[in-house]
Structure 1
Amino acid sequence: MPPAPDSRSDDEVLAATDVTVLLRYGLTQDAFRTALFGDGAVAGAVTLDRLGVLPRSLVFVAEIVRAGGLAYAAELPEPLPDPEPAAVLRDWLTEAARTATSPEAEALAARWLKAVAELIALRRTTPTPQNPGELPD
């Protein structure tokens, strides 16, 4: 019998999620919207939280998307203060701008960014259980 595969935490699984693909389809097709705002938002939060992004920075970018559009936000020289998370976010914004051509899709993208920011804030304020099956008090 082959050995059991190494177990991975939910964080590791979600960090490997292709957020770009979820944005591509979730902003333009109703069938993928739940995945975008579910696993996609959590994956985005895990990824950006690991890179140290502050929720307020992401909310600011969401407001830029709402006011100026995805293409404008994607072309910002520094959408986030640090280069590594800025590059990740720029990739997401660029793909979203390429596929989300309606005002409704751009508004959804702004909502998604705010959802990701909320999840980052929750990750930072909710204690992590010591044992995976244990819930915090």
Structure 2
Amino acid sequence: MTLKEELSSVLSRVAEEEKERSFGSWWFRKLKLGALSLYVGNGQREAVEAIGVFYLCLPSGLEIVLNNFHYAPSITRGVISVSRLYEDGFINRFVNNTIQVFRNNMVYFSAIPRDGIFEIDLS
């Protein structure tokens, strides 16, 4: 199941109320339709359906807590803010055309360039 399908499945279980709920590694608050939008690179507006916390499990077995996670089902590639990672104590190093993300002298993940965007290397 893809991230988008899993999120859609979780959100479909929640009634239209704005209650705070917890589903395993997700914690979110569903938004009213049209309450918030994200603007993407082509200038298009995409509706945000929920805001919350997402626990990103990495191939290394390590986990990063992404606070203030915005879920917009029409956006197919997730974005992680480098400045937010820095605020949370992570160090970002550019090494051999990759970004290596460290905390406490441990590499959490590397991001590799793909189509002009750095993506987390999940291999």
Same fold (TM over 0.5): no
**Which has a greater percent of strand?**
2
**Which has a greater percent of helix?**
1
Query: Normalising by the residue count of structure 2, what TM-score does the alignment of the two structures yield?
Result: 0.28
Query: Normalising by the residue count of structure 1, what TM-score does the alignment of the two structures yield?
Result: 0.26
